[in-house]
Amino acid sequence: TDPLASSWAVTLLTPNFGSYLTAEDLVTFDPLQPDIETGREFAASWGFDRSKAADVTEFYIDRLESEIDPDVLEQIRLRIKQSRTQELSAAEQALAVATSVILERVIRVEQTLAGTLSALDVESQAASRDPLTQLLNRRGFDRWARIPEPAGVTLPSVGIILIDLDDFKAVNDQMGHLVGDRLLQQIAQSLRDGTRPRDIVCRWGGDEFLVACPGAELEELSEIGDRLIRAIPEISVDGMSVNASAGLHVGFLSAEGLIEADKALYFAKSLGGNTAIPASELEH
């Protein structure tokens, strides 16, 4: 076995401690405490109690006995026996109390820090989602788009579908915003249902939605876009429904690609809406 591990075991059980393991190290000695935070609490309650140290060391020695040099094993067994009868000196008792206090303070500080970080993460996640549809908003999409490319890996191109609801304002004007909101929620669910599991659906703002389709080439992207556009008019809330238009673009994620998809979208709307147009068609 690792000579250093054997040395640690012997040192830990020696009446005159020559070194002190950190809480992160101590946790690896405890078979019942698998995480670092609990390990610190374990260390704080353990302090320099050689009886507990002996129990934990013996747990591992029993399982590694066949792999340990017999002379080392005999020395560790002897230390285990001694540690169960050897009382702490006054200096060691004082050190144990001081260590316990320090560890308790560390635990409190780290618990406070963990709670703060958790609250910030929840707040950040909430700020990245549209509260009405629970889709990602622009901020959430930007965070997704900025995920770094793994070293040595070239990420595939991304198909973009930019969708705008035709004459959605009429719904709010005639039936009120509550009906409009319910219609947006159902359309958002339709977009989720009509896309692939790996696709990203965002509420781009107002009555606009963006769907990012990693790895989709133009033919597949066109099929997805047409499917989404056909499904939207079938959604009705209190007798109100809308058509939609879409602009498509295939390429690497960029501001230019979004601009091209936006141009294709408004070209589709200029044709009367209820259709999806690839940006590449604008070049002809």
Tell the burial category of 191 from Cβ atoms under 10 Å away from its Cβ (0-12, 13-18, 19+).
buried
24-to-36, 44, 221 alpha-carbon distances in Å: 6, 12, 50
200-205 sheet: strands from edge to edge: 200-205, 208-214, 158-166, 243-251, 276-278
Catalytic residue among 30, 130, 166, 207: 207
Instruction: Tell me the sheet residues that pair with 84.
Output: none
Whole-angstrom distance, CA of residue 154 vs CA of residue 36: 36
Check if the beta carbon of residue 239 is closer than 8 Å to that of residue 229: no
Q: List the one residue out of 263, 257, 265, 249 whose CA is nearest residue 217.
A: 249
166 is catalytic: no
Tokens of residue 229, six digits? 């556009």
- Coil, strand or helix: which one is 167? coil
- Catalytic positions, written as ranges: 207
